[in-house]
Chain A
Amino acid sequence: MTNRFTLEVISNALINAAEEMFYAFGRTAKSPVIYEVLDYAVGLTDSQGKLIAQAPGVPGFSGVLDFVALEVLQKFRDLQPGDLVISNVPYGSGTHLNDVALTAPVFVKDRLLGLVVNKGHWSEVGGMHFGSWTSDATEIFQEGLQLPAVLLYKEGKINKDLMEVIRYNSRLPDAILGDMEAQVASMGVAARRLTSLVEKYGEETVREAMEKILRDGETRSLRAINSLPKGEFKAEDYIDDDGVSEEPVKVVVKVNITDSSFTADFTGSSKQVKGPINSPFPATVSAVREVFMAAVDPHAEPNAGFFSPLNVIAPLGSIFNPVRPAPTSTYWESMSYATDLVWKALAPQLKGRLPAGHFLSILATILGGVDDRTGEPYAIVEPQPGGWGASSFQDGESALVASGDGETYMASAEVYERRMPIMVERCELNIEDGSGAGEFRGGFGVIRKYKVLSREAYFTVSIGRSKFPTWGVENGEGGTPNYCVVERDGKTERVRKVAAMRLNRGDSVTLRSGGGGGWGDPRTRDPLKVLQDVLNGYISKAIAKEKYGVVIEGDSVNWTETAKLRGGLK
């Protein structure tokens, strides 16, 4: 038997190989959406497509790689060294058409050792609007070029005809082909690492290490599940709309936890909708994996073993498992609800692990136009941060990116102002709209106000949880809504979904993200904490009195009045 410590070292090296591929791609990509937003994920699978190691830039990408690998293995029974498959069709293996996956086999002589997968957001793959994703598509054909798992390289030779097709179908061919080149090169980094491990330790030992990763992952996961409360837990909610109508969309989940399994069943949720918010099944699974990690073990290595006790059920043709030709380009609007529903069902059961609900929406924002000084186009493309929920032991954090985003950085106002004809007039916590009160209160959202300095500009935004703000736990108050205020031609308008709205010089948009939900009865909050909140300007004296039953006079608590207000209410 191979020394157990050697296996441990090889396991680490495999995880490392995924990380090196991750950095190699991030370092050499040409598009900010890759190297700034980290909108990509890479990983390795074994010869059967089971995920061995992955490095996702955002947690929303936690589950998309093995679907790709499985599809490739099913379609190509006779993969050869040097083959490389390209795919982006959402329904079976993807998310939206912008996310393009490359998959390559790694061989030891003629025996398949595993697959290397790299899936990244391409800035432009054609379709009805620039950037390919849009809030008003009603069919996938409006969303860009479809690549249904075809060979980009055959035995080391690139398919030039296919490259030509791609080039003709994108508005930014140089950028995406540059990214593709970086994607392919980064896969070589991981493949070489695998090969050198085989040279050093032998094929059998490397395969044994892969098995060990899966076995350890499963053991870890089962042990953690065993400590969770067992039973069936339900949640339901409403998505504001599907993007092309005003109708709210109902979504539900039933979570069933047994000694050895964790099932999220979305049966009963809305059928697939006309607008592009449909969440393809792999995206739905990703969403559930994310909250599964949060609930079970936030620091575990994500692999097929760890996820093996997890089942996700979503009926074919539903919003969480749409079929062709459903549009999916703003899939994240529903996908984040899949995370949120499971979270909501479990939060009261998992004190300390899962907090109350957060602002949820990415508030995807595009503000752009032409810079009159240079005649060059400019654009802000960004998600907005917002307030997170309180937990049973601490207040919610303020101004963090949503659950589907991770190591995603909010851009600097100074950088924007230097580069674009934009003035950032406010970048502060959204104290004005508040957050969910509670024994522990929710965190605050942000207010970002952009004033247009160019002659004209165009504004697109997609905001969720505007009609239905997030939820509190154990009598904690719910959060506050996300929305945007447009000031245009002297008029002020509150909006949540806008496509390519024209703005003129001096007009402004103010993005306002919501606060997180509270945890526990506000009237049990430590009055000294309420005092601190008042002194720091997080809440007003009026709110302290109304919601928390705490009377603040000057710089201190009036204990007598507070006791009167709270009397018997504890």
Chain B
Amino acid sequence: MRLGIDIGGAFTDLVAVNENGSFIWVKVETTSEDPARGVMRSLEESGISADQVSVVIHGQTIGINTIVERKGAKVGLLTTKGFRDVLEIGRANRRDMYNFNYRKPEPLVPRRLRLELSERTTASGEIVTHLDPKEVEEAANYLLSHGVESIAVAFINSYINPSHEIKVGEILEGLNVKFFTLSHNISMEWREYERTSTAVVNAYIQPNMGRYLSNLEEQMRQIGFRGSLLIMTSSSGVTNLNLAKSYPVLTLESGPAAGVIAATTVAEAVGVRNIIALDGGSTTTKASLVRDLSPKVITDYYVNRDKFHAGIPVKIPTVDIVEVGNGGTSYAWTDEVNDLKVGPRAAGSRPGPACYGRGGTEPTVTDAYVVTGILNTKWLLGGKLPINQALAKRSVEELGRKLGTSVEETAEGIIMLANENAVNVIRLVSVQRGEDPRDYVLIAYGGSGPMFAPFIAKELEIGKVLVPFIPPGVFSAWGMIVSPLRRDMIVTHTIRLSKEGAMDEAESIFRGLEEKLIREFSFPEALLVRSVDARYYGQEHTVTVPAPKDMTGQGIEELIKAFHSSHERTYGFKMEGDIEIVNFRVTGLVRMKTKLPKLENREVKMKQEFRKVSLRGEEDEWPVIQRSSLGIGAKLRGPVIVEDPSATILALKGQTLTVDDLGNLVIEQ
């Protein structure tokens, strides 16, 4: 039996799939003071016996929380002479440009713990100033004597020749330094600020994450678990425990990445290749565009970046996901000129929306849906969460008084603006990147995704929405089970294709990368996939295109053709002239042999009730159906509400809802 366990902000989700395809899921509250406790509780509640489990794949938010809450280790940084302040200078951009009191993120290493070493490698990899081992030892001892627990090492041009970083690593090992991070081991891409930052982030979270993972493994062993514990990463793949302990920075966005893989898996099963994954959570909405069943994995990721904050760069392979602060528990409020706004502040699970009756009084998106009657007015989560419609009404009414609108109008206004926020995030991943959302199927999951999706589809004229047959509220945990084992290696090496011997050089770079990957990845059966980031010589923008098995052969023509057309699609033009490879990428993949689970116990007899829903100034009786009572092939005409224990699904007037062969709900217009 394979388990996916996903720790999120509010809930820890467990999903189990048996060899014969049977399916179990559990949702328990996250215990943020000791996250392992929530994980153990989810195991307990599932009733699964630990010795029956062959693999556990685990995703978590401990790494990211450690950074956001600034609770990481005391880190020291060793860097090249002349570059002590790289971390503090950053890129010098003023993201909040009219705010003259703008601050960059506080560096994770204070200046006194950033030490320079006399050493220098040039951009061609030549060493012009040799490292002095004695100086390294002195620097390390200085840091240790100042209470440093974890050391990051980032030298200029180490992406092209890491020998000095390696040497420092050996010396630190000799000094019995337990936690140290060499920048080239995590990122072999150029740009010193971003690579240094990535190494520092890893050093910052490593002790914490290491302790957590060891502790969790031990607790699981104690209850009889004998299988392997694998760790979900941000790249939409899974890695082994040791690698995760050494490079926990690989796992920062594990939950969202798993959601995208889950959506891709469902798309493949129903024969769709181009999708937009829409993850509607409790405080955010996330979207990711997937072409040709390949999630886009990029290394431009930032922690805590938004419209007004530069964030901390982390050059780790991460699924390209865009998010907005707009979810089920986002607050509705009025600004200085009395205009209605939704988000980014949210109630979360404590105090929660007003209708939870846990003391929240400000109206949220959930309250608005409860007022309209679209959400169940008595309970949610299959009865686990009681709902107080009167409290929802009171909170929305209060806001309406300020706006001069009735409670129904106000609720609808909130829904409209929340949907618009969600529409906007879809536009960000499609229209703003030159893609037409109408060419994609929208796959909606998360607690609020399936509720937002029909409105979004209407607004953007997306023909088809699919709500997966897996319960939408635990979709990401299931994604962990179906994610492949994956390891990415990316190295910057600029080569112009027209240069003499370029292909031989390119081929040898690829081979070197592949050898390194196999050595670290320890799965000899892995499928190796090559690609390059390339651009027109003299231009800056790159596109990623597949590269042939042999760069010196005919396959290179394919690469060139793919480059031109991809460039034209992304940037609107192609041109004559030389092409330059900037980054070489190799991805090692081992696909999981997993069967899609069968969800059992469908009552084929459809139970139907009616609920009063007021929308667009009209009050109507909408049919309400329990998802478990919908059989394969069922076809309904909107408006209709389908209730699933983990989410509420809608089809609007003019839309139809059908149940496909797998049990997915397909909403079309």
Residues of A within 8 A of B (CB): 3-6, 8-9, 12, 16, 19-20, 23-24, 27-28, 30, 32, 35-36, 58-59, 178, 181-182, 185, 216, 219-220, 223, 290-291, 293-294, 298-299, 343, 352-355, 358, 385, 388, 391, 394, 397-401, 403, 405-410, 412-415, 417-419, 423-429, 446, 449, 535-538
Q: Are A428 and B85 in contact (CB under 8 A)?
A: yes
Instruction: Confirm or deny: B83 has a beta carbon within 8 angstroms of a beta carbon on chain A.
Output: yes
**Nearest CB on B from A306, distance (A):** 11
Residues in A neighbouring B86, C-beta threshold 8 A:
427
Residues in A neighbouring B413, C-beta threshold 8 A:
3-5, 8
A406 to B99, CA, bound (A): 10
Q: Are B111 and A405 in contact (CB under 8 A)?
A: no
Q: Are A410 and B112 in contact (CB under 8 A)?
A: no
Residue of A nearest to B416 (CB): A5
Render B570-582 as a binary contact track against A, CB cut-off 8 A, 1 for contact: 1111000000000
Q: Are A391 and B573 in contact (CB under 8 A)?
A: no
Which residue from A59, A220, A291, A343 sits with its C-beta under 8 Å from B336? A220
Q: Are A27 and B89 in contact (CB under 8 A)?
A: no
With A216-B339, A294-B100 already in contact, the answer to whether A20 and B192 are too (CB < 8 A) is no
Render B89-111 as a binary contact track against A, CB cut-off 8 A, 1 for contact: 11111111111111110000011
Q: Are B82 and A220 in contact (CB under 8 A)?
A: no
Residue of B nearest to A295 (CB): B100
Which residue from A219, A400, A415 sits with its C-beta under 8 Å from B190? A415
With A298-B98, A397-B102, A418-B123 already in contact, the answer to whether A27 and B88 are too (CB < 8 A) is no
With A16-B427, A32-B540, A394-B101 already in contact, the answer to whether A401 and B92 are too (CB < 8 A) is yes
A298 to B98, CA, bound (A): 5
Q: Are B98 and A418 in contact (CB under 8 A)?
A: no
Q: Is the interface of B mostly helix, strand, loop or mixed?
A: loop
Residue of B nearest to A425 (CB): B82
**Nearest CB on B from A371, distance (A):** 12
Q: Are B572 and A9 in contact (CB under 8 A)?
A: no
Which residue from A30, A216, A394 sits with its C-beta under 8 Å from B337? A216
Residue of B nearest to A22 (CB): B432
Q: Are A4 and B405 in contact (CB under 8 A)?
A: yes
With A12-B420, A427-B83 already in contact, the answer to whether A409 and B91 are too (CB < 8 A) is yes
27 A-B Cβ contacts within 8 A?
A: A5-B413, A16-B427, A20-B432, A24-B432, A35-B541, A178-B573, A298-B100, A343-B100, A394-B101, A394-B103, A399-B90, A400-B104, A405-B94, A406-B95, A407-B95, A409-B93, A410-B89, A410-B93, A412-B194, A414-B123, A414-B159, A414-B191, A418-B494, A428-B85, A429-B85, A537-B111, A537-B112
Residue in B89, B103, B539, B571 with the greatest tally of chain A CB atoms within 10 Å: B89
Residues in A neighbouring B191, C-beta threshold 8 A:
412, 414-415
Residues in B neighbouring A220, C-beta threshold 8 A:
336-337
Closest 9 CB pairs of A and B: A406-B97, A385-B92, A28-B572, A417-B123, A5-B413, A536-B111, A298-B98, A293-B98, A298-B99
Q: Are A398 and B111 in contact (CB under 8 A)?
A: no
Render B299-313 as a binary contact track against A, CB cut-off 8 A, 1 for contact: 000000000100000
**Nearest CB on A from B632, distance (A):** 37
**Nearest CB on B from A142, distance (A):** 28
Instruction: Confirm or deny: B434 has a beta carbon within 8 angstroms of a beta carbon on chain A.
Output: yes
Residue of B nearest to A27 (CB): B571
A337 to B96, CA, bound (A): 21
Residue of B nearest to A354 (CB): B100
Residue in A20, A216, A413 with the greatest tally of chain B CB atoms within 10 Å: A413
**Nearest CB on B from A6, distance (A):** 8
Instruction: Confirm or deny: B156 has a beta carbon within 8 angstroms of a beta carbon on chain A.
Output: yes
Residue of B nearest to A419 (CB): B494
A519 to B401, CA, bound (A): 44
**Nearest CB on B from A259, distance (A):** 17
A218 to B308, CA, bound (A): 23
With A220-B336, A397-B103, A418-B494 already in contact, the answer to whether A406 and B84 are too (CB < 8 A) is no
A398 to B112, CA, bound (A): 16
Residues in B neighbouring A290, C-beta threshold 8 A:
98
Q: Are A399 and B89 in contact (CB under 8 A)?
A: yes
